Amino acid sequence: MSTIAQILPDGRIGEGIQNYSSNWDRKNLSKDGNVDGRVENYADVINGYYDGATELYEYGWAQSFHFCRFYKGEAFATALARHEHYLAAQMSLRPGMRVLDVGCGIGGPARQVARFADVQVVGVNNNAFQLGRAARYTQEAGLEKNVSFVKADFMKLSEQFGENSFDAVYAIEATVHAPTWEGVYGEICKVLKAGGTFGVYEWAMTDAWDPSLPSHKELAHKIEIGSGIPEMRPLRKAREALLSVGFTIEHEEDLAERPDTVPWYYPLEGNLSDAQTVWDLVTVWRNTWSGRITTHYGLWAAEKLGLVPKGTWDVGETMKIAAEALVEGGKRKLFTPMYLVICRKPQAN
């Protein structure tokens, strides 16, 4: 018997949220679970996650859904924006360029990059709910002429935009969701003009990660289940994939290796002593023991009252699993959310 998916008025799909966590062997996360199914059905798995997680990200983080480095004394929102500006500067974006943001979330980075570099940004995302919010925030910011959004799968970019159509492309903590890095990087290379730049902050397990160790496997699966990632892979595979699709790597660096006194994972750790402003205290508090308990019961009540879709509470539970694994992965240098690569598409002969 076929079932018709229940699409909510805001674009979210109820079943996707409710079924999301069943894609992993939740009782034993050192096991791979149905990894082939997750990779094959990546679009449904990822949309199920973001349909449940997006409001929680906005509540507990910001309009930019990524990590960043911190200077001592720097406010959380400033540090997030600096991370975006840094990528734009490393890519040498110039006024008037047409730039693609791959996996654009609700458009936080796109709005920052458009303002900072004076470029036209097109954000692509496969999640209808996020795109509705992205359009609304962009209009509120008065940036509709500079930032636009398209609903598409980043595994089919050339079908959507045609080849050689962007001066530059960037992706911030998004392409880790791809079923294969070769597939998404290959599509990015196609839509980029010859000589154009691709800049990426990639999520990866570091070269210290050893998948033959059950505890390392478990760490990766905990990150996956709480972040909507079908399969975590090692950093060297990202490098190999970039080269295999034809990019020349001009700069690569794991920014998590910089000797920062305030680590990138401090907000997730709930480390109130590193918070710099009153607003940061609120954000970081949400990740403390008491903040998590408050969210846990608050979200449970919101779901019972029908204020959030069914399954949202469960997605929130998986996010707690990831938060702990991300901090552990960061401390043990087994995981990075900021493998920076600046690549170039070679000039046509």
Binding site for ligand SAM (CB under 6 A): 43, 46, 50, 64-66, 103-105, 108-109, 124-127, 130, 153-155, 172-174, 177
For ligand SAM, give the closer residue by CB, 54 or 197: 54
For ligand SAM, give the closer residue by CB, 29 or 124: 124
- In whole angstroms, the minimum distance from the beta carbon of 69 to ligand SAM comes to 14
> If DSSP states are collapsed to H, E and C, what string results for 117-183?
HCCEEEEEECCHHHHHHHHHHHHHCCCCCCEEEEECCHHHHHHHHCCCCEEEEEEECCHHHCCCHHH
- In whole angstroms, the minimum distance from the beta carbon of 41 to ligand SAM comes to 11
Q: Which DSSP state fits 65?
A: -
- In whole angstroms, the minimum distance from the beta carbon of 304 to ligand SAM comes to 27
Separation CA 217–CA 211 (nearest Å): 5
Of 338, 177, 343, 320, the closest CA to residue 248 belongs to 343
For ligand SAM, give the closer residue by CB, 108 or 329: 108
Q: Are 131 and 151 in contact (CB under 8 A)?
A: yes
Of 185, 200, 47, the closest CA to residue 128 belongs to 47
For ligand SAM, give the closer residue by CB, 100 or 308: 100
Separation CA 49–CA 12 (nearest Å): 10
- In whole angstroms, the minimum distance from the beta carbon of 174 to ligand SAM comes to 4
For 288, counting Cβ atoms within 10 Å of its Cβ (0-12 exposed, 13-18 middle, 19+ buried), the class is: middle
Separation CA 54–CA 70 (nearest Å): 24
For ligand SAM, give the closer residue by CB, 188 or 242: 188
- In whole angstroms, the minimum distance from the beta carbon of 57 to ligand SAM comes to 8
Partners of residue 253 on adjacent β-strands: 340
For ligand SAM, give the closer residue by CB, 152 or 272: 152
Q: Are 109 and 125 in contact (CB under 8 A)?
A: no
- In whole angstroms, the minimum distance from the beta carbon of 1 to ligand SAM comes to 28
